[in-house]
Chains A and B, each alone.
Chain A
Amino acid sequence: MSLRIKRMLCAVLLLLAALTTTGCWNRIELNEVAITSATGVDWDGENWIVSYQVLIPAAISSVTGGSGGGGPKSPIIVYSTKGKTIRDAIMHSYSESPRKLFFAHNRVVVIGEKAMQRGVNELIDVYFRNSSTRETVSVLATPGTARRVLEQFMQLQAISGAGMKEIILSEMKNTSILPNIPVYQLAMEVIGDAKSAVVPEIFVSGTEDTSSLESFGSTSIPSKLKLGRLAVLKDDKMIGWMNRKESLGASYLRDSVQQSYVVVPCEDDKGKKGYNTIHVLKSSTKVIPKLQNGQLVFTADVDVTGTLMESNCAQDLYKPGVIQSLEQGGQKQVSNLLQEAWAKGQEMKADVFGAAEKTHRKYPKQWKEWSKNWDEVFKEAALEPKVKFRMARMGLSNKSFQYLMDKEGK
């Protein structure tokens, strides 16, 4: 029994010793961390400039209706540090911030155009090497400096970093023009077979700044953060932009369309022109490579289901023919989008549509040959869009209002 007690005591002592040796080494209190909501990365030609958008929790909770007062306070502060490498720059932050930067709640990383042109592989390495940073952070490109984007306030969302993420997610869900690209996806695309990637653009629209709380005194703010074009990367460096139309086409080809809109021109019996707006509810795309006479050809099988949202042509939607023409119109629109995007991709020699992976999988033997100069092969390959467009619903009224008005007129 005494032996047992001795053993127990020994175990307890060892456990207590373990408690003291750790010294709570990675313990950090909530008021010792600087919660970063957005990071900006710029390149000034020699050094990396990393900007941080840091939250001021007390100010945020007073903005969002918590206790405390004493005039409006900025919910965020932005500051930058410079360094030879990205992490070096972050290291310098310790000498100017009373709190340790905390990146686990970072929502977006904004990359300035110069940094994009220099290459993103260093940034990706930082994200993958460190456990404190998350690979689910959305990557955004900006034509100016990233810092300027970080400095802007946003309407409705006190934390603009979180706001940017919300915008891109909502945009992707509702219109699907620009995809949300998390760091891990960027990394996968950069090292993929085509070595091409895309990053959505965020920019400050308007010439003035909304970096002062005073701008919230009026109903409209002087400048806004907006999503714009799609940056195209080749071998981790940015080579150009795709406009919004091309970008939507790219979204169809990348099969990243969740919901979108198609505006189809229409004409009634009297030759009066108008537009039908179709809400794309579902869309799926299969890009299939094919060999035709030794030439690589791609077929894009797109399956789109839509519902009519708005119609200002005089048409009777009880007639199957009208619906068919709607479907044909939609089909044509989508085919055009695909062709435009494909052509732009070929022009930039950037296969951002995942065609390389599909070819690699289908023709592994020939791939060895093609992979040597994929850009050239891709440039020559034609796209054959096969769009199946199905109208699921016509909305709550079957005859367009214009149609009813014309009838009254008779």
Chain B
Amino acid sequence: MPNDKNATSSGKTSSSSGQAKQAEQVLLPDLDMNIERLHRFLGGGEDIVCRTLQHRSFDNTRYALMYIDGIVDGGVISTMLLGLLDDANQYAEMREDTTLHRHLTERSIAIGKLSEIETVEQACYAMLEGCSILIVEGSLRAIAMDTTGGKTRAVEEPSSQTVIRGPKEGFTENLRTNTSLIRKIIKSPDLRFEYKMIGRQTRTNIAVVYLEGIAEAEVIKEVHRRLDAIDIDGVLESGYIEEFIQDRAFTPFPLLQNTERPDTASAALLEGQVVIMVSGTPFALVAPVTFVKFFQSSEDYYQRYDIATFLRIIRMTSFFISMLLPSLYIAITTFHQEMLPTSLLISLAAQREGIPFPALLEAFLMEITFEILREAGVRMPRIIGPAISIVGALVLGQAAVQAGIISAAMVIVVSFTAIASFVIPAVNMGIAARLIRFILMILAGTFGLFGIMSGLMILLAHLCGLRSFGKPYMMPFAPFVASNLKDVLVRVPWWAMRKRPVKIANDNNAIREGAGQKPSPDQEGA
């Protein structure tokens, strides 16, 4: 475990700690004293295991093994202890030219990753990371052995970003597993993992991942600068980080993408983006992003390009439907009835007969109802799920229409809006549309289409003003970058996608594939 990071961040950590004075204490030759101080530093607790050992082959030198139960791999420790005992004879032969401490470090311990520790504080933090500490009496240093273990979730199919065709692996809560998933996909020596630790109390490990030479150096520097500036007590999810490092605080639009999928993260890396992984969450952050990225699914690249293009257009349309449909309905039925075909107008008017509320209020009621249903669906215990869907569908849908409280057309509008909002692959972009929908509904109810248009214009201006790590959010539309259009509304075939996204990846290393790979009949045979 990254003990070297302990050293770098210890200044910040200990200065705010109540035990500052003690923490700086170095280890003493007295073993009992050391154990005592470690115990005190960690505040005792049943899960702190301390095993004092002493046997003849090691000249009866006492040594202690300390670790925190539950976050270490018990099997590794047992094997290590057995190895120590087996090794006793060897030590007897060599004891002339070595100390026990050195012997253990250099020969005996059957664990890959060891590090030397000099202070109590370092020892404690190493234990909190899942290391086991071996302290030999008389030595001024302790050995930290990487025995990290404990229960972690297995690699499973991502639950929030599913695909039909494509890898079924998803990130887990374990950072090491996550980095390994990326490593397994991109076996390049240029793949860089840079670790940080954020959170005074949680000391959450964070990995900044990028491909050297493909990601823009400026962006990497900026990512580091923003991450280093964070000072918080705890980071439980990448959402904590996201709000600290996004370019603008007040916007409904997500300025960082998140993904649960190693393949999506790898694709981002290959396009020159930087991935920020946070220990404890399967959601990794991707930066910099553009608006259109949120409408791309990893499956677009695994399926044929024609259907991928079609689906992208469907998604874009759904975004607009999800944002605009209720407001358009309100505007047209209360201000611009002349815009509807007569027969449609008649059937809408027939449904509105006897409806007690104005269209705006009706739409608000239904939208709020739906939001409540959706929230209930997410929060409620799984067992009572079917009950809620019956109540939602029958009572609120059908019964409300039959009772003449809500018009059937409004139910159709709201349901279609709701379904459309689920088409957007990125949940956080769907949320943006959801929030804007309500503002546009008020505008539509007060100014009609004129209000919707003004709202959309303000929205467009806002979107054009957004940046993600300095990159314009509306790229490649504003500023217009013709070369990047190959992967926006249309997903061109792979053999035509020669360049990485210009102005996002390092422009000096933009070519990603050889030219002229379009399949064609064999020319020689002809």
Contacts and interface: CB of A to CB of B under 8 A. Distances in A.
B2 interface: no
18 contacts: A27-B334, A29-B352, A29-B358, A30-B345, A30-B352, A30-B359, A31-B353, A31-B354, A33-B349, A35-B342, A55-B349, A57-B352, A57-B353, A61-B347, A66-B350, A105-B337, A107-B342, A134-B338
A404 interface: no
Q: Could you say which of B337, B347, B359 has the most chain A C-beta atoms within 10 Å of its C-beta? A: B337
Interface in A66-80: 66
A28 interface: yes
B335 interface: yes
A28 B334 contact: yes
A167 B355 CA distance: 35
Interface string B304-336: 000000000000000000000000000001110
Contacts of A66: 347, 350
A335 to B, nearest CB: 42
Contacts of B346: 35, 55, 57, 60-61, 159
A201 to B, nearest CB: 24
B448 interface: yes
A31 B337 contact: no
Contacts of A55: 346, 349
Contacts of B448: 26-27
A22 B447 contact: yes
Given A22-B447, A24-B446, A105 B353 contact: no
B262 interface: no
A211 to B, nearest CB: 20
Contacts of A134: 338
B397 interface: no
A61 B352 CA distance: 12
A21 to B, nearest CB: 10
Interface in B434-465: 442, 445-448
Contacts of B359: 29-30
Contacts of B447: 22
B401 to A, nearest CB: 10
A134 B339 CA distance: 12
A107 B354 CA distance: 26
A383 interface: no
B348 interface: yes
B454 to A, nearest CB: 10
Q: Which of B334, B337, B349 gathers most chain A CB within 10 Å?
A: B349
A24 B349 contact: no
Residue among B335, B347, B353, B355 having the largest count of chain A Cβ atoms under 10 Å: B353
A251 B400 CA distance: 55
Given A22-B446, A22-B447, A107-B342, A31 B355 contact: yes
Nearest to B334: A27
Nearest to B401: A67
A24 B333 contact: no
A134 B354 CA distance: 29
A101 B354 CA distance: 18
A27 B338 contact: no
B446 A19 contact: yes
B353 A162 contact: no
A367 interface: no
Among B337, B342, B359, chain A packs the most CB atoms within 10 A around the CB of B342
Interface in A41-91: 55, 57-58, 60-61, 66
Indicate the member of A37, A105, A107 with the most B CB atoms within 10 Å. A105
A30 B352 CA distance: 7
A105 B345 contact: yes
A55 B348 CA distance: 13
Contacts of A162: 342
Contacts of A107: 342
A102 interface: yes
A95 B310 CA distance: 55
Interface of A: 19, 22, 24, 26-31, 33, 35, 37, 55, 57-58, 60-61, 66, 102, 104-105, 107, 132, 134, 159, 162
B337 A24 contact: no
**Which 4 A-B pairs rank lowest in CB-CB distance, beginning with the nearest?**
A104-B338, A57-B350, A57-B349, A61-B350
A251 B346 CA distance: 35
Interface in B353-369: 353-355, 358-359
A34 to B, nearest CB: 10
A101 to B, nearest CB: 12
Nearest to A37: B342
A134 B445 CA distance: 25
Contact of B347 (A26, A57, A104): A57
A35 B349 CA distance: 9
Contact of B334 (A30, A37, A61): A30
A102 B337 contact: yes
Given A28-B334, A29-B334, A107-B342, A60 B350 contact: yes
A256 B515 CA distance: 59
Given A26-B335, A66-B347, A104-B337, A31 B342 contact: no
A162 B345 CA distance: 13
A281 B446 CA distance: 52
A29 B334 CA distance: 5
B350 A58 contact: yes
A58 B353 contact: yes
A44 B394 CA distance: 57
Given A30-B359, A35-B349, 19 more contacts: A19-B446, A28-B334, A28-B335, A28-B337, A29-B352, A29-B358, A30-B333, A30-B348, A31-B352, A31-B354, A35-B337, A35-B342, A35-B346, A55-B349, A57-B353, A58-B350, A60-B350, A104-B337, A104-B338
B449 to A, nearest CB: 12
A282 B448 CA distance: 45
A33 B446 contact: no
A36 B352 CA distance: 17
Contacts of A19: 442, 446
Nearest to A104: B338
A193 B156 CA distance: 83
Q: Which of A27, A30, A107, A134 has the most CB of B within 10 A?
A: A30
A57 B350 CA distance: 4
B350 A33 contact: no
Most buried by B among A28, A31, A104: A31
Nearest to A33: B337
B465 to A, nearest CB: 14
A185 to B, nearest CB: 20
B337 A30 contact: yes
Contacts of A102: 337
Contacts of A35: 337, 342, 345-346, 349
Nearest to A61: B350
Contacts of B342: 35, 37, 105, 107, 159, 162
A107 B338 CA distance: 12
Contacts of B337: 28, 30, 33, 35, 102, 104-105
Nearest to A134: B338
A47 to B, nearest CB: 29
Contacts of B442: 19
B365 to A, nearest CB: 15
Contact of A27 (B348, B355, B445): B445
A27 B449 CA distance: 11
B342 to A, nearest CB: 5
Contacts of A33: 337, 349
A55 B337 CA distance: 14
B360 to A, nearest CB: 8
A134 B338 CA distance: 10
Given A57-B347, A60-B346, A27 B352 contact: no
Contacts of A27: 334-335, 358, 445-446, 448
A22 B442 CA distance: 13
A349 B512 CA distance: 81
A60 B346 CA distance: 8
Contacts of A30: 333-334, 337, 345, 348-349, 352, 359
Contacts of B348: 30
